[in-house]
Every structure is written in structure tokens, then in C-alpha cells.
Chains A and B, each alone.
Chain A
Amino acid sequence: MTQAMKTRTLIIAAAVIAVLAGAYAWTEYDRGLADAGAMAVAERVTAAELLAAFRADETAATARFVGTTEQAMEVTGPVRAIEPQGAGPVNVLLDTGDDMAAVLCEFAPGTVPDQWAPGTSVTVAGICTGMLMDVVLVRCVPVE
């Protein structure tokens, strides 16, 4: 291989690497939020267990259910209420057995199954973000 051919090969290889690196960087920059239903499930608990964990030790529960990096969890419990939030998301409140707090699950519009109603036992996958008045899960999806 002549020196000219070596140089041309190196230039082509460098260009290919640059294009691949650029494509990866753009894909990573433009990456959307992950679908909670497609993520690995880090925890599976009932709504009552989730609230009890936060009530007992909020710091420990935050470390376990919220995590240091985004993680999905599944929560099972009876529906207390389904409340559309204007034209935006729909909030499904799961009963915890404690009238003072619920597990508040935010769904995208049109993603709450029609058959869900107060009293229905359901399982929700979502991203736990912590506890204010309720334990809050966002980007929720129903689990069949």
C-alpha cells in the first residue's frame, strides 16, 4: 500500500468515525423520555405498602423507590378516583387504606383504560418522584 493510499484510508476512516460519533451524539441529545412500561421494573408493591414506606422513613423510601437515577416501579391497588387535569394529563388516585393520602398516578391523556373506575383493582407502572401530600408517580401506563 502506497503512502497516498494509507493517507486516503486514514482520512476515510476518520470521516466515518466522525460521522458515527456525530450521529450518536445527536441521538443522545435528542433522546426522549423513556416509556415507563418498557423499562425494567425496580420495585413491585401495593399502594398501601408504598405509602407506609414513605410514612415510616421518607429518606429511605426515596432512596428505594425514587432512586438516584430514573427507575420504573409497579404499584397495585384499588382506584380511589380518576380526575382529568384540564385538557392535560389524567390523575388516577390509588387507595392506600389511609384516607389522608393516596398514590397519585399521572397518565397521558387517553391512556387510562375505559374499564377503570373507582373500586377497580389495577396495576400501574410509572416513575416515582417522591411524596408531598401523596406519593407521586408520573408518566404512568396501565399494566395488563
Chain B
Amino acid sequence: MRTLKHLLLIAALTPIAAALPTGQAGAQDRFGTRTGSISFHSSTPVEDIEAHNRKVSCVYDAGTGAIELAVLIKAFEFRKALMQEHFNENYMESNTHPKATFKGTLTGMDAAAKRSAGTYAVTIKGDLTMHGVTRPLEEPATLVVRPDGSLKGTARFTVRPEDHDITIPGVVRNNIAERIVVSVDLDLTSL
């Protein structure tokens, strides 16, 4: 059953996995999830805003370090419906830009560490595409190699809405932080 599940996941991940370099890593080097978590938090004296999305798709090739993530913008959930409506309609324009993606590499681990249980400080570097605008991103992250071989990746960084051509109207400029804190949490299992 476990083998069948993994075969199904490999097949399901094919569109993303196809973009990864091939011929350099065995199947045991590939990890993935379709239920990763990402959240963002904006804190100002006026109000705090946060949203969560627990349907992040990710494929990571430990052999090459290549990593890809994709999220559906409309899968972000807010506590207040009005915030969610404004987020989708006024800021992210999710009908025009329904997805955000990250394509890059994860570096900072040698080959031996990739197979040894432990917690490793790594660097994630690549291109973040959001609201139709692609910007380079390089941030520290943490990768935990569990004894059973599965991985847990976490990262916390900030994004400026203006860097992705997201316009904040002056009337609510004080309600939204200049830098939005983004947290990513991925439980990656072997493919």
C-alpha cells in the first residue's frame, strides 16, 4: 500500500518533477508534498493580518538541490472574509494571477549530511513569482533530516508587496506592514 501510494505521488508530481534536472539523482533523492503549509503575517499598530495555506505543492531533489514550490492564491484563508476578499480582488488579483511559485536550489549541505539525521542550516536561493512578477530570493532556511529519512523544511523571510507590483492604496497603507513575514513549513517524504 505504501509503495502504491508513493508511485501515485511520483506520478502526480510529474508536472513539477519534470522540470527538475534528471539523470543525476536516484528516486531515493527526491522528496515531495502536496500539503505543505505557508502563512504570512502583517503587523502594524492599526491591525494584525495573517493568512494560512495548507496546500503547498513542493518537489525537492536532494541530489541536485533543486526545489520547486507552487501555491494557489485563493487557498489562503483569513479569519475575516472581508480581508480575504480584499486580498484576492484588490491586492493579489488572483483571478489574473492564480498561482505563486518558487523555483530554485537549496544549498549548504554536503552529500553525507543529506543522509544523516540532524538539523541543518541551509540557504534557499531562486526566483519567487507572485502577482505575475518574478524576483530573486535568497534566504536562510532549516532542513531537518529525520531518522526515517523524511525531511522537514522550514523558512521564514519577508516580502515587500511593492517588489511584486502589489499596490496598497494610501487609505489603508498604515494597516499593512511594509514587509510581510512569510513562514513556510514542509514535511517532505521520499518519492
Interface residues of A, Cβ cutoff 8 Å to B: 28-34, 62, 66, 68-70, 81, 83, 85, 88-89, 91, 99-102, 104, 106, 127, 129-134, 136, 138-139
Q: A89–B53 Cα gap in the complex (Å)? A: 11
Contact (Cβ within 8 A) A89 B54: yes
Contact (Cβ within 8 A) A129 B79: no
Query: Which residue of the partner chain B has the closest CB to A83?
Result: B35
Q: A66–B97 Cα gap in the complex (Å)? A: 13
Contact (Cβ within 8 A) B81 A106: no
Contact A85 B8, CB 8 Å, known A133-B13, A136-B75: no
Interface string of B1-18 (1 = CB under 8 A from A): 000010110011111100
Query: Which residue of the partner chain B has the closest CB to A127?
Result: B74
Partner of A88, one of B54, B72, B89: B54
Contact (Cβ within 8 A) B82 A31: yes
CB-CB under 8 A from B12, the residues of chain A are: 100-102, 133-134
Contact (Cβ within 8 A) B55 A34: no
Contact (Cβ within 8 A) B98 A130: yes
Contact (Cβ within 8 A) A85 B54: yes
Contact (Cβ within 8 A) B55 A132: yes
CB-CB under 8 A from B5, the residues of chain A are: 81
Partner of B82, one of A28, A102, A138: A28
Q: A139–B85 Cα gap in the complex (Å)? A: 16
Contact (Cβ within 8 A) B55 A138: yes
Contact (Cβ within 8 A) A85 B75: no
Point out which of B55, B57, B79, B99 has the most chain A C-beta atoms below 10 A from its C-beta.
B55
Q: Among residues 21 to 60 in chain B, which have CB atoms less than 8 Å away from a CB atom of chain A? A: 34-35, 54-55, 57
Instruction: Determine whether B77 belongs to the interface, using a CB cutoff of 8 Å to chain A.
Output: yes
CB-CB under 8 A from A68, the residues of chain B are: 95
Instruction: Determine whether B141 belongs to the interface, using a CB cutoff of 8 Å to chain A.
Output: no
Query: Which residue of the partner chain B has the closest CB to A31?
Result: B81
CB-CB under 8 A from A66, the residues of chain B are: 74, 98
Further 12 A-B residue pairs, CB within 8 A, beyond A66-B74, A132-B71:
A31-B80, A31-B82, A32-B81, A69-B89, A70-B74, A89-B54, A100-B11, A101-B12, A104-B55, A132-B34, A132-B72, A133-B13
Query: Which residue of the partner chain A has the closest CB to B15?
Result: A133
Instruction: Determine whether B84 belongs to the interface, using a CB cutoff of 8 Å to chain A.
Output: yes
CB-CB under 8 A from A104, the residues of chain B are: 34-35, 55
